Amino acid sequence: MRKPLIAGNWKMYKTPRESLAFLEAFLPMVEGHERDEIVLFPTMSSLGYVLDRIQGTNVRAGAQTMHWMNEGPYTGQTSPTMLASIRCTHVMLGHSERRIYAHETDDMVNWKLKAAFGHDLTPIVCVGETLDKRQTGLTEAVLRWQIACALNGVEREVASSLIIAYEPVWAIGTGSTATPSQVQEAHRIIRREVAERIGQELADSTRIIYGGSVKPENAGTIMSQPDIDGALVGGGSLDPETFSRIIKYPKA
């Protein structure tokens, strides 16, 4: 029922030229792959080029962040209207690197989520605890809080495209992946909170994907957990061959 989604977050890597070179190699590697949805998140400077190049293929692309307003005096920002105007289909919201380095708050994630729904952009809302919070037994509290804030005032009628990415901050770019049981438990907590906020039916159809040091070697194990509906891949998505091996993870 929940089609798996494998997304590549390119963070601040790749010029437009490098992005197009990636696609030249990558698109033939995943041509005809329909088991999983494939979405790339290039930098804002590459996004338009990538969107043009993937037209008619089985690959989609989105923005790594956006503002919640349609336009205004907000230097450096890109609006949902602008993304929609270049046929962008997805947007990532509240990535921990945005929360840490750009001081994005839970309220902002909530405003952005409502704006995404308002513009038919499929949102991937990122949540996850720091190592300190995990070690002090606060993982559940953090996840529930982040989900509750993100969904505050969101009408269930508009929220059917919601995707959530569980990315424990301590597993991002560190090589230490959360264990399948840790991820399974976190996803269960997230799904229960989504059910409380916007209803069980929507929670059951909401995809919850995992991010944090996903590699070709561990993708199969991660994807075989019943509550893991996909992966959000950072470093492992930068090389076409490596990323295509993740996408073609062995099915358990």
- Interacting residues toward ligand 13P by CB under 6 A: 9, 95, 167, 172-173, 211-214, 232-236
Q: Which is nearer to ligand 13P, 28 or 173 (CB)?
A: 173
Residue 2 — left, alpha, or beta (φ > 0 → left; ψ -120 to 50 → alpha)? beta
Cα 117 to Cα 156: distance, rounded to the nearest angstrom: 11
Q: Which is nearer to ligand 13P, 43 or 81 (CB)?
A: 43
Burial class (CB in 10 A: 0-12, 13-18, 19+), 147: buried
Cα 101 to Cα 44: distance, rounded to the nearest angstrom: 17
Q: Which is nearer to ligand 13P, 116 or 198 (CB)?
A: 116
Q: In angstroms, what is the minimal distance from the CB of 8 to ligand 13P?
A: 8
For residue 95, indicate whether it is catalytic: yes
For residue 34, indicate whether it is catalytic: no
To 10 degrees, the CA torsion angle through 166, 38, 216, 4? Answer: 60
Q: Which is nearer to ligand 13P, 230 or 236 (CB)?
A: 236
What are the E-state strand segments in 48-180?
Answer: 59-63, 90-93, 122-127, 163-166
Which member of 67, 90, 95, 187 is catalytic? 95
Q: In angstroms, what is the minimal distance from the CB of 173 to ligand 13P?
A: 4
Cα 142 to Cα 129: distance, rounded to the nearest angstrom: 6
Q: Which is nearer to ligand 13P, 7 or 84 (CB)?
A: 7
Q: In angstroms, what is the minimal distance from the CB of 87 to ligand 13P?
A: 23
Does residue 231 contact residue 246 with C-beta atoms inside 8 Å? yes
| End-to-end CA separation in angstroms for the chain | 17
Q: In angstroms, what is the minimal distance from the CB of 22 to ligand 13P?
A: 16
**Nearest CA-CA partner of 126 in 143, 140, 114:** 143
Q: In angstroms, what is the minimal distance from the CB of 171 to ligand 13P?
A: 6
Q: In angstroms, what is the minimal distance from the CB of 128 to ligand 13P?
A: 9
Which member of 37, 97, 104, 167 is catalytic? 167
In the block, which residue shows the tokens 């338009």?
48
Q: Which is nearer to ligand 13P, 170 or 198 (CB)?
A: 170
Helices of type H across 90-226: 96-101, 106-118, 131-135, 139-150, 180-198, 200-205, 216-223
Position closest to ligand 13P via CB: 234
Q: Return the active site residues.
A: 95, 167
